Amino acid sequence: MTILLAGTTALFFGFSDFFGGVASRRDNEVSVTAAAHVMGLALLVVALLIFPAAALTRTDILAGMATGVCSAVGVTALYGALARGRMSVVAPITAALSGCVPAAYDFATGHALRPVALAGLGVAVVAIIIVSSVGHPEDRAGMPPLAIGLSLLSGFSFAGGFIFLSMTGEAAGIAPLVIVRLVSVALIGGLALIRGKGRYSLKRIAILPALGAGVLDVAATTAMLFAIRSGPLSVAAVLGSLYPVATILLARFVLKERLHWAQRVGVALALVAVLMAALG
């Protein structure tokens, strides 16, 4: 179940990043992120009314708030990087950090895996790194230092969010995700208003992809929450961080970004990693 949920997370995050990147190329990343997170908050509130939490502890609230801060920073930085750099490079850099850091935390806190599953996670990390390879001159020209810096900031922020999210209890249901979105909407919405001098606006051409990114992000985050609760954080985080495969394929076929041969190998290894983790 953890592998299935983590795989769903990767798929939805990959599509969400693509739509968020497209929207951020049409308007600024802060406005896009604000719109996406408001949409996500609305969906989560409705879901919480249908599936209320059995219990909500102080730890759940604090972990949700911390995850909200990480989410606000991570998504804004990611959309900023996607708007300034190549999607096929930005997404894997972010994923490498968001997958490896929580896995290291999980191992450091004493969680162990069977050999095949552990080897599968190693293959997944290699796949993420290979997919991150920049093999064309246009790739290097398309990745300014700011895009790289934002990619790194986003990766560390998402990693922190996964770790904090793992601290919430099952009895809380999806309530921590509502707290996550309340905090992120407050932070990003406030920043959007400051940048807009008291007014918020989003270009019409960016509305649909921004809202689409919000819906998919909520689906991905919900799947990740249950993946973390059903199995080891290391498995959920690493397999969930294979989302660049979806982003890269969309960028390849929709935006016509060239896919380097090494990235094709990385995609194949990603599939092998999921199979190994499942067998483990």
Helices 175-195 & 145-165, crossing angle to 10 degrees?
150
Residue 71 reports pLDDT greater than 60: yes
pTM surpassing 0.85? Answer: no
Under 8 Å between Cβ of 267 and 245: yes
Q: What is the pLDDT of residue 244?
A: 74
In sequence order, what are the residues at sequence separation of 6 or more whose Cβ sits closer than 8 angstroms to the Cβ of residue 148?
81, 85, 93
CA 157 to chain CA centroid, nearest Å: 10
Q: Give the integer Cα–Cα distance in Å for 257 and 139.
A: 9
Q: For residue 236, give its domain range.
A: 2-29+67-168+216-279
Number of domains in the chain: 1
Establish if 77 belongs to a structural domain: yes
DSSP structural state of residue 51? S
pLDDT (tens digit per residue) in 150-190: 988 998 999 999 999 999 999 999 999 999 999 999 998 88
Query: Worst-scoring range by mean pLDDT, 46-55, 128-137, 202-211?
Result: 128-137
Given the structure tokens 């998402």, which residue do they identify?
158
Is position 13 within any domain? yes
Asked if the structure places residue 47 within a domain, the reply is no
User: How far is the CA of 148 from the CAs of 86, 113, 164, 260, in angstroms?
Assistant: 10, 33, 25, 19
Reported as a pLDDT band with limits 50, 70 and 90, residue 81 is confident
CA-only gyration radius of the chain, Å: 18
Distance set, CA 45 to CA 41, 73, 81, 175, 176 (Å):
6, 22, 29, 9, 11
